[in-house]
């Protein structure tokens, strides 16, 4: 298999790698298969690739999601960026507010943009509005759960990931992310269970090494 250099840390990696195993950065020269969707429902994006956040014990939650996995979008086109409107806050200060789209596809695209920026509250609002339109979209619901966890709402995130599995029991991302949330809550038995279920489905998946590492860190 041919080798390339990671665009971020410059170590040598397999040319087929989607993410650098050393620094976790996405390799932009890769393409991904488009997920199946019902023809009468708008698509979330052109791919359902993994997105990594950073998670490390003892570090502030919003910047510690290294093990967390969500569906990764393509770069958002300039035209898809949310418009802004000006108003006044409770203290009379002039403020700028985003004008969110009203259609499913637009909400998801803007939500992905906010997610890329680490703006979990606005991303969650976009995903929530999109789910009000199509509550069966497991990828959007999984991303919504990831935002909730990023906001420190672990129990609400668990509810969303369980809802994903109720719709699609083989949704690997939801299984993995359940393991991450339980691990963050110190519930190692539950965390190891869901990590194990993920590995049964995707033993060679992109998050497989991270799942095994978390299991090892939690011990027997």
Hey, is 101 helix, strand or coil?
Answer: coil
User: How far is it, in rounded angstroms, from Cα 112 to Cα 117?
Assistant: 9
**pLDDT digit string, tens, across residues 105-123:** 999 999 999 999 999 999 9
Domain boundaries, the chain: 53-218
CATH for 53-218 is 1.25.40.10
Residue 181 makes CB contacts below 8 A (sequence gap 6+) with 149, 154, 157, 158, 161
- For every residue of 155-216, DSSP letters joined together read HHHHHHHHHHHHH-TT-HHHHHHHHHHHHHTT-HHHHHHHHHHHHHH-TTSTTHHHHHHHHH
pLDDT of residue 68: 57
Q: Is the pLDDT of residue 79 over 60?
A: no
- For every residue of 12-61, DSSP letters joined together read EEETT-SB-TTT--B-TT---PPPP--TTS--S-S--EEEE----TTS-G
Residue whose token pair is 């599995």: 165
Query: 80-94: buried (b, 16+ CB within 10 Å) or exposed (e) per residue?
Result: eebeeeeeeeeeeee
Do 18 and 4 form a contact (C-beta atoms < 8 A)? no
**pLDDT digit string, tens, across residues 50-70:** 343 333 333 334 434 445 555
pLDDT of residue 38: 38
**pLDDT digit string, tens, across residues 129-155:** 999 999 999 999 999 999 999 999 999
What is the band of 41 on the pLDDT scale with cuts at 50, 70, 90?
very low
How much is the pTM?
Answer: 0.59
pLDDT of residue 99: 77
């Amino acid at each position: 298999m041919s080798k390339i250099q990671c665009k971020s840390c410059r170590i040598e990696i397999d040319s087929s790698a989607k993410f650098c195993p050393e620094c976790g950065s996405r390799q932009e020269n890769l393409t991904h298969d488009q997920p199946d969707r019902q023809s009468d429902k708008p698509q979330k994006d052109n791919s359902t690739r993994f997105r990594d956040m950073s998670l490390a014990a003892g570090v502030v939650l919003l910047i510690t999601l290294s093990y967390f996995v969500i569906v990764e979008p393509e770069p958002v086109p300039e035209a898809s960026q949310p418009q802004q409107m000006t108003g006044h806050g409770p203290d009379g200060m002039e403020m700028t507010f985003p004008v969110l789209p009203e259609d499913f596809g637009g909400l998801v695209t803007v939500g992905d943009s906010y997610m890329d920026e680490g703006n979990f509250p606005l991303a969650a609002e976009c995903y929530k509005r999109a789910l009000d339109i199509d509550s069966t979209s497991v990828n959007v619901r999984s991303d919504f759960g990831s935002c909730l966890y990023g906001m420190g709402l672990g129990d609400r995130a668990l509810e969303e990931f369980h809802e994903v599995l109720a719709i699609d029991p083989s949704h690997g991302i939801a299984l993995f992310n359940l393991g991450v949330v339980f691990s963050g809550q110190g519930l190692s038995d539950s965390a190891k269970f869901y990590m194990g279920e993920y590995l049964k489905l995707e033993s060679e998946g992109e998050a497989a090494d991270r799942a095994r590492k978390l299991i090892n860190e939690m011990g027997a």
